[in-house]
Chain A
Amino acid sequence: MSEQILKAIEPQPNPNVPPLRPGDVVSVHVKIKEGNRERVQEFKGTVLFTKNAGAGSTFTVRRIASNGIGVERTFLTYSPRIEKVVVERHSKVRRARLFYLRNRTGKSARLKQRF
């Protein structure tokens, strides 16, 4: 009963976020407010894992920044700030959470494409 009441209050899922799977290479377009101006920032990388928890769902994207440093960013899946998420390719992965990618660099950090 109380769960139903909560469901009615919770925000609707952001329609611009498609279902994501670990290993997907995505580019996330996030709206960012700078003073009065609003612009869109792109964050491109690999989905490490998703957390499906209703309104608190998140997904974490990892990318290698220009200086070779790994950057991870966690987005709220329901957030209205996400303008769109483009899935560029799927990867063949055998885990739900790709923590092992954090310890890999270069060639060994590649994932095989899944069509």
Chain B
Amino acid sequence: MLKGLIGKKIGMTQIFDENGVAIPVTVIEAGPCYVTQVRTPENDGYSAVQLGFEEVKPKRLTGGELGHLKRNNLPPLRFLREFRVKNPEVKEGDKVTVECFAVGERVDVVGTSKGKGFQGGVKRYHFRGGPKTHGQSDRHRAPGSRSSGTTPGRVYKGSRGPGHMGNDRVTAQGLKVVLVDTERNLIGVKGSVPGAKGGLVVIKEARKQ
């Protein structure tokens, strides 16, 4: 069964459950998505479903993109994403809506985290920084030593340090679905979701159930 949607993060709020306990909720406007292509082991070597989301003016897409969608008489769609599923049980041209998720299920939400720009080691990797007292000057947020000395005489690749932070693909795993609004195509998950409001998110069945 295909369980996946592409959506847009709307924002966070809180709702009350039946016991009156407040739950933090991230609301995502998800779907309706269209099945733009079904990948099969025979044709592509693996099975997956390609979904498209958000209708746009035709002039926003390239001719190749339009042709790809036209094959199944689909409207121009801005985003295409693939979902690896064994038995999709959907055909090309099908519509997928929030109904594929039910309240209480666990989902993974993939988003792009907010960009933080070039950041120091303290913020980026929780380095401790230097001592705050004992005559220190300009050492408070310094990264300290990055490596050993003469041997090996270089910094190992991949060692942590200052650099660009954020704007990464991040997955929030095992979020509980607390709200499904078929009328407005909304889905609400408990807890936060990576990225800014309006950012593109992909909702999938939870990998760790």
Binding site for B on A (CB under 8 A): 2-3, 5-6, 8-11, 31, 33, 54-56, 76, 78-81
**B39-47, B102-110, B180-188: which lies at the A interface?**
B180-188
Number of A-B residue pairs having CB atoms within 8 Å of each other in the complex? 45
Q: Does any Cβ of A come within 8 Å of B148's Cβ? A: no
| Interface-located stretch among B17-25, B90-98, B139-147, B150-158 | B17-25
B200 on the A face (CB < 8 A): no
Q: Is there an interface contact between B179 and A79, defined as CB atoms closer than 8 Å?
A: no
- Asked if A79 meets B27 with Cβ closer than 8 Å, knowing A2-B10, A8-B184, A10-B13, the reply is no
Which of A33, A54, A79, A80 lies in contact with B13, CB distance below 8 A? A54
CB <8 Å contact, A56 and B14:
yes
From 7 to 54 in chain B, residues with beta carbon under 8 angstroms from any chain A beta carbon are 10-11, 13-16, 19-20, 22, 25, 27, 29
Residues in B with CB closer than 8 Å to A54 are: 13
* Contact A5 B14, beta carbon cutoff 8 Å: no
Within 8 A of A (CB), among B45-93: none
User: Bound complex: CA of A6 vs CA of B197, how far in Å?
Assistant: 12
Q: B198 an interface residue at 8 Å Cβ cutoff?
A: yes
Given A5-B11, A10-B13, A79-B22, 20 additional A-B pairs, CB 8 A: A2-B10, A2-B197, A2-B198, A3-B11, A5-B186, A6-B11, A6-B13, A8-B184, A9-B15, A9-B179, A9-B186, A11-B16, A33-B19, A55-B13, A55-B15, A56-B14, A78-B16, A79-B16, A80-B16, A80-B20
Check if B10 sits within 8 Å of A6, measured CB to CB.
Answer: yes
Q: Return the contact of B27 from the options A6, A33, A80 (Cβ within 8 A).
A: A6
For residue B31, give the distance in angstroms from its CB to the closest CB of chain A. Answer: 14
Whether B188 pairs with A9 at a CB distance below 8 angstroms is: yes
Given known pairs A2-B11, A3-B11, A56-B14, the reply for A31 and B186 (CB within 8 Å) is no
Taking CB atoms and an 8 Å cut-off, the chain B residues in 151-209 that contact chain A are 179, 181, 184, 186, 188, 197-198
How far apart sit A2 and B13, CA to CA, in the bound complex (Å)?
Answer: 12
Cα distance A55–B13 in the bound complex, in angstroms: 7
Q: How far is the CA of A21 from the CA of B13 in the complex (A)?
A: 24
The reply to whether B15 and A10 contact each other, CB–CB distance below 8 Å, is yes
Looking at B13, B19, B181, B197, which has the most chain A CB atoms within 10 Å of its CB?
Answer: B13
Q: Offer 25 A-B interface pairs, CB within 8 angstroms, sorted by A.
A: A2-B198, A5-B10, A5-B11, A5-B27, A5-B186, A6-B10, A6-B11, A6-B13, A6-B27, A8-B184, A9-B15, A9-B25, A9-B181, A9-B186, A9-B188, A10-B14, A10-B15, A11-B16, A31-B20, A55-B15, A78-B16, A79-B16, A79-B22, A80-B20, A81-B20
